[in-house]
Structure 1
Amino acid sequence: MTLDENRLNELLGRFVTDFGGSYQALSAVLGDRLGLYRALQMTMPATPEEVAAEARAAERYVREWLAGQAAGGYVTYDPASGRYSLTEEQAFLLADTGGLQAAAAFHIPVAVAKNIERITEAVRTGGGFPWHDHDPELFEGVERFFRPGYAMNLVSSWIPALDGVEAKLRAGARVADVGCGHGSSTLLLADAFPASEVIGFDYHPASIDLARKRAVEAGISDRVSFEVASAADFPGTDYDLVAIFDALHDMPDPLGAAKHIREVLEEDGTLLLVEPMAGDRVEDNLNPVGRLYYGASTVICVAHSMSAEPRTALGAQAGEATLTELLHDAGFGSVRRAAETPFNIVLEARI
């Protein structure tokens, strides 16, 4: 065997980056749980002692944590003073309560790892691993990963991009948010369009319970409600808008769900389908976003879809062509890309 040393070194470089990234996931979860990013923001430029005191954590651990974060480029270190700080961009990404809070996303792989033996067996046998069997930390991580994107885009960009939908919502429409999880998207719609009736549906009772509490905390429980129901048989008819946010590809029977939505929509109603950004071919997705979604899809999305019949397993990188074909098969006559972000593709489907 003759090895190309340059290629080997390049591959080893990627390995070291990824191996370090696995520990970054754990480190970020520590930082998020203990409030270390926020503590640094409140005290910077700060010594490890100052950050530890603000966060009420042990200094020796915080010292190691800060050095690792600086090595990864997540915080900034000044060798002259021995102090740490956050740039505006680092703060917005990690510390600001109104920012992206991206460290929360690392809860997802950490949560998945708690069930890696069962997931491994599912991959070996072709079985499934359902969403509700994951550690609850996964549900928190998924919500906190997607919520900033919804907050930045749903009301300001995605709804206005749909044909006539914003006017209906302002006048008073009937809306279903299917697969709503903890209800972030549902609450955003209800808050922005108080004249409309918004109902969130999810098959997972624990998520619905939390969504109801969030509605009370937000003071809008009078115009938003949550019910336990699956995408294929959620109750009600004559919806002006049905929305699915980053959930259709996870479903064991996405076609059945789309057919049911087609049946319960008003004749001039709209399906808003938000899915992970993806091209239609594997080679279109060989990039950092595709890598992220393929990795998550293997252990979360495909695994859940394989847990019940018909086990469609679209996967998180299904792509616009596959999604459009499915919606046409479900009876939708018009499907178009209404908007997009680096992380999401937004489709509008009408009867």
Structure 2
Amino acid sequence: MTTAAATPRPVDTDKLHQLLHQAVVDMGAAMQSTLILIGDRLGLYRAMGDCAPVSAAELARRTGTDERYIREWLNANAAGKYIEYDAPSDTYSMTPEQSFALAQDDTAVHLPGFYHMLASCMKDEEKLTDIFRTGKGFGWHEHEKGLFEGCERFFRPSYLANLTTSWIPALEGVEEKLKTGARVADIGCGHGASTLLMAKTYPKSEFFGFDYHDKSIEQASEKAKSAGCSDRVHFDVAPAKSFPGKDYDFVACFDCLHDMGDPTGAAAHVKQSLANNGTWMIVEPIAGDDITSNLNPIGRIYYAASTIVCVPASRSQEVGLGLGAQAGEKRIRQVVTEGGFTHFRRASETPFNMVFEARA
């Protein structure tokens, strides 16, 4: 039996031009991403962070780089609106806002970390393409190492801006316990940015950071030593379903529950590790409960990251549920309550994250 060929749909030239305009903007952003990474590695943004006008020659002298390459780099950044160009003086500068986002560490917004993550994912492209064919997973530990540093640098600003100022205070009774002295477990702690920030803010409490990735734990331990708090901040290699310890007053998971192969199993283990009246804080990427509500610029980033990092990480583990970074509150609630928790609520949120409170 044969069927008639589908009648070709006519091309709407206005819609085509809109698509091409979007594509040109995206192409420019994609090409510039390499330059942002180079600028961060060479300290070019930091050298302009005082916002004073500088020539290409002067910036090259400051940073020990080649003037011709620096001029081209500057022009690309000026075209992308990441720096400013003054034609009469032939100089370049940064606005305070550009400096805040690109040239300074430990601000509430720090963009370069994202580009380290992006570069790492691009280096893994061939391997990631293959798992689309095979359906296999691709573990967090299998990624190029830039992902781990970039992830810490990208997420740390949000923790600096929100963790101890709004997220923890939004939880019932938790901050009081931390101030007087509590046992705290940070699951999936990575390089320990969240753990160390809490430890600095609540010096009477003791902190235990766990991650299955041994290289990240090595970095976290070194950071604890450098911060002078290794006597009460401990980092160990352990998966979410079997981290050691009991009677934790507070357990936290930052942007990692959806990466786990068996998040329900992890929830059950968290429940049995908590002390009476203990609290579990779950920080997850902001998301609605249906696809349509996530089809926006932030959802675009999170769906892409989920495809490249989160779902492959989950599918590389036991169960391999593959929640994804846009699971939404309803799905997260289901996972947590199936793990044995009876109390679950959204305690806080930002444009990028949802913060949930769970208790037994």
Per-residue Cα deviation, 1:16-74 (whole angstroms, up to 9, x for no partner): 11111111211110011000101122473011111111111111111111111111111
1:9 maps to 2:21? no
Query: More deviation in 325-334 or 91-100?
Result: 91-100
Which residue, 187, 203, 225 being the options, matches 1:178?
A: 187
Please name the residue that 1:76 is paired with: 84
**Number of residue pairs matched?**
351
Q: Measure the CA separation in 2 of the matches of 1:41 and 1:234.
A: 42
Q: Measure the CA separation in 1 of the matches of 2:233 and 2:349.
A: 27
Please name the residue that 1:163 is paired with: 172
TM-score by length of 1: 0.98
CA, structure 1 residues 43+56, in 2 after alignment: closer, same or farther (shift >3 Å)? farther
1:35 maps to 2:43? yes
Greater C-alpha radius of gyration: 2
**Contiguous gaps of at least 5 residues in structure 2:** 1-7
Letter in 1 for 2:277: D
1:283 maps to 2:302? no
Contact in 1 for aligned 2:120/2:143 (Cα 8 Å)? yes
Q: Measure the CA separation in 1 of the matches of 2:65 and 2:122.
A: 26
Per-residue Cα deviation, 1:92-138 (whole angstroms, up to 9, x for no partner): 00012342331221111110111111111111221111000111100
Contact in 2 for aligned 1:43/1:54 (Cα 8 Å)? no
SS in 1 for 2:160: helix
1:343 maps to 2:343? no
Please name the residue that 2:226 is paired with: 217
Q: Measure the CA separation in 1 of the matches of 2:80 and 2:133.
A: 34
Please name the residue that 2:244 is paired with: 235
Please name the residue that 1:86 is paired with: 94
CA, structure 1 residues 139+3, in 2 after alignment: closer, same or farther (shift >3 Å)? same
Q: Measure the CA separation in 2 of the matches of 1:41 and 1:148.
A: 18
Please name the residue that 2:4 is paired with: none
SS in 2 for 1:51: helix
Residue 82 of structure 1: how far off its partner (Å): 1.4
Which residue, 321, 327, 347 being the options, matches 2:330?
A: 321
Please name the residue that 1:310 is paired with: 319
Per-residue Cα deviation, 1:154-194 (whole angstroms, up to 9, x for no partner): 11111110000001011111100000000000001111111
Letter in 2 for 1:241: F
Please name the residue that 1:20 is paired with: 28
Paired residues for 1:79-158 under 5 Å? 79-99=87-107, 100-158=109-167
SS in 2 for 1:145: helix
Identity %: 52
Q: Measure the CA separation in 2 of the matches of 1:334 and 1:43.
A: 49
Please name the residue that 2:214 is paired with: 205
